Amino acid sequence: MKIKKAILFLISIILGNRFYNYVGYRLKRYIKKVSCRVEKGSKILDVGAGQCQYKKYFSHAQYVAQDLCIGDKNWDYSYIDLNCEIYDIPVKNDHFDYILCTQVLEHLKYPDQAFKELNRICVRGGGVFVTCPMTWAEHQKPHDYFRYTQFSLKMLAEEHGFEVVSIEKEGGMFITIYTLIVDQFPYLFYSRGFINTARAFKIFLYPIMFVIGFIAYFLDKLDKDKDLTAQYECIFIKK
Q: How many domains does the chain have?
A: 1
pTM of the model as a whole: 0.91
Give the tens place of pLDDT for each residue, 40-81.
999 999 999 999 999 999 999 999 999 999 988 889 999 999
Let me know if 87 is exposed, middle or buried by CB neighbors in 10 A (0-12, 13-18, 19+). Answer: middle
- What are the tens digits of pLDDT across the range 195-234? 788 778 788 888 999 999 999 999 999 999 999 999 999 9
| Predicted confidence (pLDDT) at residue 188 exceeds the cutoff of 70 | yes
| CATH code, 181 | 3.40.50.150
Give the range of the structural domain holding residue 214, as residue numbers without chain letter. Answer: 2-238
Residue 1: pLDDT band with limits 50, 70, 90:
low
